[in-house]
């Protein structure tokens, strides 16, 4: 008697910003409108080599969030005080994706967050998400000194989950990160709209619609 194959995937790893939160383009646009600066100001700073270096150093835990506030505020011409909190003011939970994450875990699929972290003091962007209670593993870049798209970051989270790359889905809103995960054998899922991402992920994982 032929046996039916088991589920294709036994793990799923989620990016945090823009996947478990609202779309970051919308978050940034709202920030610029509140600050009364031209649309595109924040992303021009991000594209600047100085901005890239500030983010890199923050994500690796080499500078504090306060130091990032000062450097990035000067770069884009805004008041630095509590800049991270002002920037991420509208990074509200993406409830549809979080619902699928909880559903997957309940179905026995290992779940993790892999985030290029932005510091936790003085503003903690993870507060209120209960990541440790929702996911099997939470890997924040600054705590390990590695960041996406470094392959070591993906290997670390896979090792923690005890899941092979070929049996794991990786959900992110950044194409560089998705490409890096794919090169290791993970199945990438681009998440720009939470409802679309939630529906596609349920299909991939064989989960029923709720």
Task: With a cut of 80, say whether residue 77 has pLDDT above it.
Answer: yes
pLDDT digits (tens, 9 = 90+) for 18-42: 999 999 999 999 999 999 999 999 9
The residue-averaged pLDDT of 93-97 equals 97
Task: With a cut of 50, say whether residue 128 has pLDDT above it.
Answer: yes
Q: What is the pTM of this model?
A: 0.93
pLDDT digits (tens, 9 = 90+) for 171-188: 999 999 999 999 999 999
H helices of the chain, in order, are 24-35, 41-47, 49-59, 65-76, 83-87, 95-106, 131-134, 141-144, 151-161, 175-183, 194-205
What pLDDT is stored for residue 7 in this prediction?
66
- Dihedral pair phi/psi, residue 200, rounded to 5°: -65, -40
Task: With a cut of 70, say whether residue 53 has pLDDT above it.
Answer: yes
What pLDDT is stored for residue 3 in this prediction?
37
Task: With a cut of 80, say whether residue 134 has pLDDT above it.
Answer: yes
What pLDDT is stored for residue 183 in this prediction?
98
What pLDDT is stored for residue 1 in this prediction?
36
C-alpha–C-alpha distance, residues 187 and 72, integer Å:
34
What pLDDT is stored for residue 188 in this prediction?
98
For the chain, give the percent of residues with pLDDT over 90: 94
Mean pLDDT of the chain: 95
Task: With a cut of 50, say whether residue 150 has pLDDT above it.
Answer: yes
Task: With a cut of 80, say whether residue 210 has pLDDT above it.
Answer: no
The residue-averaged pLDDT of 112-120 equals 97
């Amino acid at each position: 008697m032929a046996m039916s194959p088991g589920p294709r995937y036994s793990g799923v790893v989620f990016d945090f910003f823009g996947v478990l939160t609202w779309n970051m383009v919308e978050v940034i646009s709202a920030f610029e409108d509140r600050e009364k600066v031209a649309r595109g100001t924040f992303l021009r700073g991000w594209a600047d080599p100085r901005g890239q270096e500030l983010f890199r150093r923050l994500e690796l835990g080499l500078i504090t969030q306060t130091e990032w506030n000062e450097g990035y505020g000067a770069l884009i011409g805004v008041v630095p005080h509590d800049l991270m909190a002002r920037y991420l003011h509208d990074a509200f939970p993406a409830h549809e994706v979080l619902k699928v994450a909880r559903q997957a875990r309940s179905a026995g699929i290992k779940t993790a967050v892999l985030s290029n972290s932005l510091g936790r003091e003085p503003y903690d962007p993870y507060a209120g998400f209960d990541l440790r209670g929702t996911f099997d593993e939470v890997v924040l870049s600054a705590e390990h000194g590695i960041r996406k798209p470094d392959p070591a970051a993906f290997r670390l989270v896979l090792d923690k989950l005890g899941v092979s790359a070929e049996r794991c889905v990786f959900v992110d809103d950044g194409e560089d990160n998705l490409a890096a995960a794919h090169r290791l054998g993970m199945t990438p899922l681009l998440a720009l709209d939470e409802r679309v991402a939630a529906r596609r992920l349920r299909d991939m994982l064989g989960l029923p619609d709720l």
